[in-house]
């Protein structure tokens, strides 16, 4: 069996196209422009690249993009004051504080100071609780992108057996909640799971989100299963050059799976696309308008 490749780059382009079309309709019908504010503290190179990409794509879909770049030694009080200002700004519908933050800042305190309705990362404790109880919430971008791709591939997920490898608050736990919401039977596995290989082998859907390069070999995958690889790991290749790999062994898993996401070009592009979708959703909710179809849970 040769797995169908789930092209996250192409899928994300379609999502951005839908977002852009909906934004244009909001402008024409309601004179409403969704606004996204991104806050970056410090000069982490990876974060800087990510923030630039977010700003570029936000502008491309017709949204208002605002960036606040703060010094690495910015005080917690000053950061919280900025977030309070953005919470009160009616032209800003989404607020994202780029992680990780410098060590002197309390990430939980900072994230939970964001208005939950503007928390387009879906990390606020209120949104975590709403998602966990099946209520309307802002949904974390990476799990939302994974769910969109799974729905597109399978049509319905009802009754399928899903294993999520990884229990992080950012991906693993919300991914499990989303799959439960679509009536999957869900197991959250991790480094201390007994007989991990056997647990994974029974799954119709495997979501690997552990941050360990090529941890999952092909003989863990059930014939015909769908594999969603969330991992992005940089490893040293031939001649000292680095390359990006996922959390699964792509070639061996693709030989058994029915469908698989590549790394790069799979889940990664969907994360920013879903950030834009969440900002659009937040703008619609804030103004009592219908939410964009197919862009939220």
Residues labelled catalytic? 54, 98, 121
Backbone phi, psi, residue 29, to 5°:
-85, -30
DSSP string, 64-131: EEEEEEE-TT--HHHHHHHHHHHHH-TT--EEEEPSSPPTTS-HHHHHTTS-GGGBTT--SHHHHHHH
CA-based nearest residue to 97, from 126, 89, 87, 88: 87
For residue 101, CA distances in Å to 1, 76, 98 come to: 44, 11, 7
Side-chain-side CA neighbours of residue 247 (13 Å) = 19
The answer to whether the beta carbons of residues 12 and 272 sit under 8 Å apart is: yes
Token output for 123: 């990390």
| DSSP bridge pairs for 40 | 69
């Amino acid at each position: 069996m040769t797995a169908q490749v789930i092209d996250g780059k192409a899928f994300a382009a379609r999502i951005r196209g839908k977002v852009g079309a909906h934004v244009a309709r909001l402008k024409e019908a309601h004179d409403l422009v969704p606004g996204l504010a991104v806050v970056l503290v410090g000069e982490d190179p990876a974060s800087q690249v990510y923030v630039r990409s977010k700003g570029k794509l936000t502008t491309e879909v017709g949204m208002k993009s605002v960036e606040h770049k703060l010094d690495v030694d910015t005080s917690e009080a000053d950061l919280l004051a900025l977030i309070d200002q953005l919470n009160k700004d009616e032209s800003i519908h989404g607020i994202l504080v780029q992680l990780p933050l410098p060590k002197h800042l309390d990430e939980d305190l900072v994230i939970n100071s964001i208005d939950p309705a503007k928390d387009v990362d879906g990390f606020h404790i209120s949104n975590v609780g709403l998602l966990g109880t099946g209520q309307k919430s802002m949904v974390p971008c990476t799990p939302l992108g994974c769910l969109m791709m799974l729905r597109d591939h399978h049509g319905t997920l009802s009754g399928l057996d899903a294993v999520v490898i990884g229990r992080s608050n950012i991906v693993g736990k919300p991914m499990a909640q989303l799959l439960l919401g679509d009536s999957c039977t869900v197991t959250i596995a991790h480094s201390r799971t007994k007989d991990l290989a056997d647990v994974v082998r029974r799954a119709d859907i495997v979501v690997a989100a552990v941050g360990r390069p090529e941890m999952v070999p092909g003989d863990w995958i059930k014939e015909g299963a769908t594999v969603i690889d969330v991992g992005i790991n940089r490893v040293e290749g031939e001649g000292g050059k680095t390359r990006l790999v996922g959390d699964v062994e792509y070639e061996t898993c693709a030989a058994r799976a029915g469908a698989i996401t590549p790394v790069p070009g799979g889940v990664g592009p969907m994360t920013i696309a879903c950030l834009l979708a969440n900002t659009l959703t937040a703008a619609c909710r804030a103004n009592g308008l219908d939410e964009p179809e197919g862009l939220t849970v």
